[in-house]
Structure 1
């Protein structure tokens, strides 16, 4: 018979709400199997007779018989006519507890490859399923026209039927590639054709793909300083040496790039709205950058992550549209202009890189899901995307203005904001005698998430402060959060 503790374990499996979807015999079978795997029931240990266990569990004998039958079929128990059921020797050899006793646990140094260790130490990219103020880069989703999206998705399913459930082409659905090419040609001044668009899951995937395809481990890449943390982590995880190039109010200092003592043949930058400073790369520097890439046979990775949200006139045309040498890889995403769950980004590639990048993409995740691609294509073609962006641009501009007023009213003794022309966050520099980390920790305890600026700098002298994201939060939420942050400062400065 089972010991009382073992019987209680099986009973716990029966009443656990998490197991409610499983039939009774499956719950009993899995409970006993877990006891065997954990080494609680050892090799040769007799199991209770089916009648006795059924009585103890208040279930039918057939239920226990079915559970035993499955355990026998999987090799966990032996059934001997006239003797009963016993834990098999084969099952004991796979006991998790014995494995843990005989093999010491590995640490991160020995368990991972150098690339895996770099990715682990880099900390990944923090995700916010339910963002709290002031998480940066998160769009407002409560205003998204869900009925329109649902109607278009039904149209896709009706037209394509079971074909929409199959794997899509690795380069992306043609309808979406056409829609994206038309959109960025019109709105961003790009020189795009559908044949040169590669649909991906995100701009982060595009950056990681560039790191693996364009460069080898040990190679150098120029990167803005300060820079987008997700890009630097992706490059470092690929074994690249990131060479920081300073940024000023006119964007990346191209002269510093051209005269760098450590040359590189790829540069990553966000020229339309630099992250995190908000600077826009001036026209003369854009042209100089294009000429540098042509002369050095180098590549430009242009991250255009939030150009839809520009509040002071139209945004500057993208670098790719000025590059007649075809040395620019243009990266865009819909996770900020629409909603994070759409998981659709894209790259506009030089013709020579289309096939290599597409083949490399097949080794990562194969393809993007066809149904959201086809739905998004219709969303763009019918004008819904443009209308949504215009609507959100007005909302975000209002929230930006309000946040600036709230900072001036409640936080002016503690921070100085750098007012952006666009984007979804405000960089704020600390001007009081308190550490950046102390503010971040105190804010977290108060239910607020801040993104520190110091960690975004490599060689340049870091400016202590943080980013205040405003796009995803209503005026009431912004006001309450600013007042809470003001209390955090007051408490720290007492």
Structure 2
């Protein structure tokens, strides 16, 4: 530090606002360290005495001394009594690189694996973090009984304090698995034992596990078309070949499964409420689907994402309950029935898949937080879950009707709404001459989100339109947002 340039550089670096919150001795140490790493202070070069540097910087000698000591402990300096402080000779050009060499731009594609590059190219999944008209998949959270939930959580902490602070069972807390099994057997017509339940953080995690455990990379998997983009993303991330299977008014065209020659033996379906068309898979097709899985010794991934919310009669019993061959993997979530921030879902597995799926989950993230699991178990057992779902079913049914009426009133010449028998969103088909992309952009300018339908199709012809979420908005909010949307695009 004998040259004014280096002293000036040190002063400039110390004045960096980014370091303003740090203690002065830490700032001095970090700036000197960075100058050494950059080669400004070359290996073997002598630093000024602590008294000299402190006087030049206008700070205490102790501050400089502490910084020097830390740099020595970290291996950046060597200090010899009577000689002074020197930049370590061990930090030479082979470690630092040639100072004058310009950095070579890194190719991101070259820095990633083939899988990583594919994930980057396909993009992630953006979850809606605020309530916004007309985002999909958001339940009503303003009426959630938080007081009841907090009381049950306090009970769990009081009764189970010693155990819930430790690691949990990767398969899930037994009380919650028992509660889930009882609910599914009673309400969904399933045939489940607690030992078949695997508690997870989300449906997407379940799909990821299915992709990793059931199908090898490069191999085919069958999926509804149109279908849930989150499932497609999970399968693509696992480098599976996603083969689309068409959907009609009765759900998945099962005859196309029998016609498939790809060799695929796993299919992803949403039979109770097809995403996004809203169709219900007919009973005869359910039986044909089960027969197909048994014939191919394959698997049915049944995503029952929002079956609690059926507005016309009782919901159809799940495929899992009909499957006497036990080839069905049933996926469920509490993100729609309770609230997304809970991050809780589950799989019901055929007995032979319980152990491999649980092992895979243990590697992925260990387990779901025990406090939340045990709180949810009590929430279900005490009847609060059933009561909440029944209350929300009435609210969502009224909001569905309000959405259909608002579309008819304000957008009749633009789209045609298809009244879904259940679920939290409504498909709307654009009239001829209207551009899906243009209407989405026009809506975005006034702060309204209208998710497009065409992106959910893997192969042409894609249906152009919107998928409007209505569950998180009151009828008054639906009316106001629909009127604003009409003004923006008409």
TM-score by length of 2: 0.91
Post-superposition shift, 1:451?
Answer: 1.9
2:193 counterpart of 1:189: no
* Aligned positions, number: 485
Distance 2:160 2:379 in 1: 16
Could you tell me how far apart the structure 2 residues matched to 1:374 and 1:65 are?
54
Taking the aligned partners of 1:302 and 1:480, their CA distance within structure 2 comes to 37
The alpha carbon displacement at 1:487 in A equals 2.9
The CA distance in 2 between the partners of 1:144 and 1:192, in whole Å, is: 28
- Correspondence 1:17-166 to 2 at 5 A: 19=21, 23-37=23-37, 42-43=42-43, 50=50, 60-82=60-82, 84-90=84-90, 101=102, 104-108=105-109, 110-166=110-166
1:251 equivalent to 2:251? Answer yes
Distance in 2 separating the partners of 1:412 and 1:321: 41
Larger CA deviation: 467-476 vs 300-309:
467-476
Shift of 1:321: 0.5
Counterpart check, 1:12 vs 2:16: yes
- CA positional deviation for 1:444: 2.5
1:204 and 2:208 equivalent?
no
Sort the Cα spacing of 1:260 and 1:45 in 2 relative to 1 into closer, same or farther, 3 A: same
Is residue 382 of structure 1 aligned with residue 386 of structure 2?
A: no
Aligned 8 A contact 2:202 2:344 in 1: yes
**How far has the Cα of 1:394 moved from its partner?**
2.3
User: Distance between the aligned counterparts of 1:314 and 1:384, measured in 2?
Assistant: 20
Q: Does 1:220 find its partner at 2:220?
A: yes
Aligned to 1:271: 271
SS at match of 1:291: helix
What CA distance in whole angstroms lies between the structure 2 residues aligned with 1:42 and 1:136?
Answer: 58
Mapped partners of 2:355, 2:420: distance in 1: 38
Q: CA deviation at 1:279?
A: 0.8
Structure 1: runs of 5+ lacking an equivalent: none
Structure 1: distance between partners of 2:460 and 2:487: 31
Relative distance call for 1:100 and 1:264 in structure 2 (3 A) is farther
Given the superposition, is the C-alpha separation of residues 149 and 273 from structure 1 closer, same or farther in structure 2, using an over 3 Å criterion?
A: same
After TM superposition, give the deviation of residue 252 of structure 1 in Å. Answer: 0.5
CA distance 1:97–1:238, change in 2 (3 Å): farther
| 8 Å contact kept, 1:225–1:460 | no
Partner of residue 395, structure 1: 395
Q: Distance in 2 between matches of 1:313 and 1:145?
A: 26
Alignment match, 1:282: 282
Larger Rg: 2
DSSP-derived class of the 1:452 partner: coil
Query: What's the offset of the Cα at 1:212?
Result: 1.2
Shift of 1:460: 4.4
**How has the CA–CA distance of structure 1 residues 35 and 310 changed in structure 2, closer, same or farther, with 3 Å as cutoff?**
farther
1:262 corresponds to: 262
Give the Cα–Cα distance (whole angstroms) in 2 for the partners of residues 365 and 100 of structure 1. 42
Once the two structures are superposed, what CA deviation does each residue of 1:34-70 show, in whole Å capped at 9, x if it has no partner?
4544555554566565456656777644344333322
Q: Report how far residue 80 of structure 1 moved.
A: 4.5
SS in 2 for 1:195: helix
Distance 1:256 1:26, change over 3 A: same
* Distance across 1 between alignment mates of 2:37 and 2:304: 51
Distance 1:181 1:32, change over 3 A: farther
Establish whether residue 453 from structure 1 lines up as the match of residue 453 from structure 2.
Answer: yes
**Residue 86 to residue 115, structure 1, CA distance change in 2 (3 Å):** same
- Whether the 8 Å CA contact 2:246–2:252 is kept in 1: the answer is yes
Deviates more, 1:463-472 or 1:140-149: 140-149
Task: Name the TM-score, length of structure 1 as normaliser.
Answer: 0.90
Asked whether 1:339 is paired with 2:344, we answer: no
Quote the Cα distance in structure 2 between the aligned partners of 1:169 and 1:443.
46
Are 2:257 and 2:292, in contact at CA under 8 Å, matched by a contact in 1? no
**Structure 1 residue 289, shift from structure 2 partner:** 1.1
Q: Deviations over 1:189-228 (max 9, x none)?
A: 1100000101111111111111111111222222101011
1:100 is displaced (CA, Å) by 8.7
CA RMSD for the aligned pairs?
Answer: 2.6
What secondary structure is seen at the aligned counterpart in 2 of 1:487?
helix
In the alignment, the residues of structure 1 paired with residue 400 and residue 51 of structure 2 have an alpha-carbon distance, to the nearest angstrom, of 71
CA shift for structure 1 position 89? 4.7
> Unaligned stretches of 5+ in structure 2?
none
Q: How far apart, CA to CA, are the structure 2 residues paired with 1:97 and 1:340?
A: 51
Q: Secondary structure at the match of 2:16?
A: helix
- Offset at residue 323 of structure 1 (A): 0.6
Confirm or deny: 8 A CA contact 1:226 1:460 kept in the other structure. Answer: no
